[in-house]
Structure 1
Amino acid sequence: MKEMIIWPAYIDIKRTKNEGRKVPKEFAVANPKLKDIADKIKKMGLEHSIEIKKSYPMEPWEICGYIKVKLDKNTSKLQILKEISKNMK
């Protein structure tokens, strides 16, 4: 098992790749909320924990939180992010 951090910015359609978006625009969503992402991860059956009082490193002044997800070693970060954002549309 490996752990992966998911920030809402990773799937935010308003962000560019340089601003932290990790998925292609066709997979990105508008205004992703931590709770919504956590709900989708839970529906996917993945073990996770939520860290609420954390700020995204590219925006240290804004506290948005992140989710720590436990994954199989064979699962890629991009694969999971696409699946999460696909489920949010």
Structure 2
Amino acid sequence: MAHLSQNPADKERFICVYPIYINSKKTLAEGRRIPTEKAVENPSCAEIRDVLTAAGMNVYVENNKMHPREWNRDVQFRGRVRVQVKQEDGSFCLDKFTSRREVMFYVAEMIPKLKTRTQKSGGGDTSSQQGDGGKKSKKKKK
């Protein structure tokens, strides 16, 4: 029975990562929390989720939540990602993430490497392949 009462509290202890925290288009006063040169242009919750899931983190998205300083009510700016940094016993889930800042820096570093980002800026001729790693092409057109 004690396990059931702990479950909701566990989710409450997950840290929140709003896209605004790592958005290079925002100022510190508007809610950005990392330096502009390390931040990403208009990140989405889905991108944050994808990066952290790939890193092996326990995450879930709350689409109906918004950062209080976000004035734009568009769907792309909505949502936040909850991330489990510590386990029930207080130990860290992954050693490389021991603080919110480390999580934010990692996400901001990895989002530009996502396929969805590399394809947009890749140009016309490389749109069907990944931008950086064109060595292994699994799909060959006949």
TM-score, normalised by the number of residues in structure 2: 0.57
- Counterpart of 1:29? 40
How many pairs were matched up? 89
Q: Which runs of 5+ in 2 are unaligned?
A: 1-9, 93-97, 113-142
Instruction: Give the deviation of 1:60 after TM superposition.
Output: 6.2
2-structure distance, mates of 1:20, 1:4: 16
Does the Cα contact within 8 Å between 2:20 and 2:31 map onto a contact in 1?
Answer: yes
Distance 1:70 1:23, change over 3 A: same
Q: Which runs of 5+ in 1 are unaligned?
A: none
- Counterpart of 1:12? 23
Q: What is the Cα-based RMSD across aligned positions, in Å? A: 1.8
Q: Does 1:70 align with 2:84?
A: yes
Q: Which has the higher contact order (CA 8 A, sep 6+)?
A: 1
Instruction: Give the deviation of 1:15 after TM superposition.
Output: 0.4
Q: Secondary structure at the match of 1:58?
A: coil
Q: Does 1:83 align with 2:106?
A: yes
Larger CA Rg, structure 1 vs 2 = 2
1-structure distance, mates of 2:32, 2:72: 18
> Which one has a larger percent strand, Structure 1 or Structure 2?
1
The percentage of aligned residue pairs carrying the same residue is: 28
2-structure distance, mates of 1:61, 1:14: 13
Instruction: Give the deviation of 1:88 after TM superposition.
Output: 1.1
Instruction: Give the deviation of 1:59 after TM superposition.
Output: 2.8
Does the Cα contact within 8 Å between 1:38 and 1:67 map onto a contact in 2?
Answer: yes
> Which one has a larger percent helix, Structure 1 or Structure 2?
2
TM-score, normalised by the number of residues in structure 1: 0.89
Q: Secondary structure at the match of 2:37?
A: coil
